[in-house]
């Protein structure tokens, strides 16, 4: 089986895209890029960055580049594609982020105290409900007298 990796540089040539009609070349090149990265990384889904998309569509839909070098970063089931010189931002898992925050707060206190503190903070942050003043009109103040019919 292939060696596991996190990041890989892939050179993609868009040969099949140039067999398509002129109006569909850029779309076909994008599709061919995704297929090449799927084959290389064995990922279920492929996400293309804005930089790569702009590089393919730079000359319009009629004239896409002949080839493109990209950097593929593989996660668990999906892969992301970036240009070689494009800045890559690492995604942080929300679950890891929460555990780090709890550990920072948990240094000198127990978990129950931390939970109580967070509940108190949320109560302080919430604005107190002010009872709405009941507006009275002239018709409500007057007593309704029965009318004779």
Residue ranges of alpha helices (H) inside the chain are 25-41, 50-57, 94-105, 111-125, 138-141
- Rounded-to-integer distance, Cα 42 and Cα 2, Å: 10
Sheet holding 67-74, edge to edge: 7-13, 67-74, 78-83, 45-48
Q: Is there a contact between 82 and 70 (Cβ–Cβ < 8 Å)?
A: yes
What pLDDT shows up at residue 132?
66
User: What is the pTM (predicted TM-score) of this model?
Assistant: 0.57
Q: Is there a contact between 74 and 39 (Cβ–Cβ < 8 Å)?
A: no
> Mean pLDDT: which of 2-6, 16-20, 115-119, 123-127 is highest?
16-20
Q: Among 10-14, 23-27, 80-84, 134-138, whose mean pLDDT is lowest?
A: 134-138
Q: What is the CATH number of domain 7-83?
A: 3.10.440.10
pLDDT digits (tens, 9 = 90+) for 70-118: 999 998 889 999 999 988 876 666 666 666 666 655 555 555 665 666 6
Q: Whose CA is closest to 87, among 51, 59, 136?
A: 51
Model confidence band, residue 54 (pLDDT cutoffs 50, 70, 90): very high
């Amino acid at each position: 089986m292939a060696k596991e990796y996190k990041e890989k540089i892939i050179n993609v040539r868009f040969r099949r895209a140039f067999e398509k009609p002129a109006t569909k070349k850029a779309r076909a090149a994008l599709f061919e890029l995704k297929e090449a990265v799927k084959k290389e990384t064995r990922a279920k889904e492929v996400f293309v960055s804005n930089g790569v998309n702009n590089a393919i569509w730079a000359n319009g839909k009629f004239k896409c580049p002949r080839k493109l070098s990209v950097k593929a970063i593989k996660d668990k089931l999906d892969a992301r594609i970036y240009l070689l010189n494009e800045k890559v931002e690492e995604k942080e898992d929300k679950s890891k982020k929460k555990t780090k925050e709890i550990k920072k707060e948990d240094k000198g206190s127990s978990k129950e105290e931390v939970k109580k503190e967070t509940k108190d903070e949320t109560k302080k942050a919430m604005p107190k409900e002010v009872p709405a003043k009941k507006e009275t009109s002239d018709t409500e103040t007057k007593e309704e007298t029965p009318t004779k019919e």
